[in-house]
């Protein structure tokens, strides 16, 4: 009932674990797939993460949002060359790449294609707090990264955006050049700042951080509504999903699938099983299917 076809690949559920620190090791990803996540994403990979700072504290949890610092990867990208097959035994794996260094994309994808290709690749167009610390990524680097990836693989490539870097004209250009197979919106937004009034200091070691969680969902839905009218490729919605009704909002808007991170970070991988069951119950009660409600928004 919940099976979907995403860019030619069958997923047992429209729920995908988004890229984040949970994607530092295969055990976390396999656990999510065992709880019936449709697919899972690694942490964004870079050839050399040594130049990136390690911030502590790295997370702050508010009533309806999370702030996170843009920390370096703990595991090297080569870890996944040895372990992605173990993940793919349980379900589709998405290798997340950074658009900050296009040559890194070529190096990483080429290595995977030669040894053990994943189901999908996802190019991360940087979240705004990363842009604040390390500088914004220009669209020319995104286009170059996508072009290098596409030369190395025939597998579907997603482009993960933030609300801050959605440029409809540029995205239509990438689409027309057949450089992207699906868009993912939205990465964390911001940057956001929270202050500990007792210590008179920011709660994050990075001062500002990326904001995710339920508080951003209305903003993301509005931007996807705008984007859906302009582009033809599938959209994967992400932002503030905590329950089945949140998922349904994205599907009704026209999204092919959704990504979830903050809720999984807070409550663990069992949320995939819980949300899947609630989705089934809703569809049975309403005598609907994912296909029948997808894009059914009434204006």
The whole-angstrom separation of Cα 149 and Cα 292 is 34
Identify whether 172 is part of a domain: yes
Res 55: pLDDT:
84
User: Which CATH number do you get for residue 84?
Assistant: 3.20.20.70
Res 51: pLDDT:
60
Res 74: pLDDT:
79
Contact, 15 vs 260, CB < 8 A? yes
Identify whether 203 is part of a domain: no
Q: In terms of DSSP bridges, do strands 201-202 and 195-196 run parallel, antiparallel, or are they unpaired?
A: antiparallel
Identify whether 121 is part of a domain: yes
Domain that holds residue 265: 4-51+74-193+212-293
Count, residues in the chain: 299
Identify whether 37 is part of a domain: yes
Identify whether 199 is part of a domain: no
Res 50: pLDDT:
61
Contact, 224 vs 185, CB < 8 A? yes
Identify whether 298 is part of a domain: no
Tens-of-pLDDT digits for all 299 residues of the chain? 999 999 999 999 999 999 999 999 999 999 999 999 999 999 999 998 666 677 888 999 999 999 998 776 778 999 999 999 999 999 999 999 999 999 999 999 999 999 999 999 999 987 766 776 677 899 999 999 999 999 999 999 999 999 989 999 999 999 999 999 999 999 999 899 999 999 999 999 989 999 999 999 999 999 999 999 999 999 999 999 999 999 999 999 999 999 999 999 999 999 999 999 999 999 999 999 999 999 999 99
Res 294: pLDDT:
98
Provide the annotated active-site residues.
127
Identify whether 232 is part of a domain: yes
Task: Tell me how many domains the chain contains.
Answer: 1
The whole-angstrom separation of Cα 66 and Cα 170 is 30
Res 197: pLDDT:
97
Identify whether 289 is part of a domain: yes
Contact, 246 vs 4, CB < 8 A? no
């Amino acid at each position: 009932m919940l099976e979907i076809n995403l860019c030619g690949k069958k997923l047992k559920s429209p729920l995908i674990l988004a890229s984040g620190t949970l994607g530092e090791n295969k055990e976390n990803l396999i656990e999510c797939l065992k709880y019936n996540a449709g697919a899972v994403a690694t942490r964004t990979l870079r050839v050399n993460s040594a130049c990136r700072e390690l911030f502590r504290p790295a997370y702050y949890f508010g009533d309806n949002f999370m702030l996170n610092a843009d920390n370096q990867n703990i595991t090297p990208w080569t870890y996944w060359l040895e372990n992605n097959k173990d993940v793919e035994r349980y379900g589709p794996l998405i290798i997340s790449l950074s658009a900050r260094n296009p040559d890194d994309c070529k190096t990483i994808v080429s290595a995977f294609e030669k040894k053990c290709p994943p189901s999908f690749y996802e190019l991360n167009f940087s979240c705004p707090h990363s842009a604040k610390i390390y500088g914004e990524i220009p669209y020319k680097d995104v286009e170059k990264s996508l072009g290098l990836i596409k030369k190395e693989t025939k597998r579907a490539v997603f482009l993960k955006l933030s609300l801050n870097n959605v440029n409809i004209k540029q995205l239509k250009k990438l689409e027309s050049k057949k450089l992207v197979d699906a868009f993912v919106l939205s990465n964390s937004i911001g940057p956001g700042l929270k202050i500990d009034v007792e210590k008179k200091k920011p709660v994050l070691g990075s001062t500002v951080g990326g904001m995710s969680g339920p508080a951003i969902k209305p903003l993301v839905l509005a931007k996807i509504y705008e984007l859906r009218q302009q582009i033809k490729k599938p959209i994967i919605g992400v932002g503030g999903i905590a329950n089945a009704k949140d998922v349904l909002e994205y599907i009704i808007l026209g999204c092919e699938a959704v990504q979830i991170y903050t809720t999984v970070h807070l409550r663990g991988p069992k949320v995939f099983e819980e949300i899947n069951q609630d989705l089934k119950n809703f569809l049975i009660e309403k005598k609907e299917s994912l296909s029948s409600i997808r894009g059914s928004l009434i204006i």
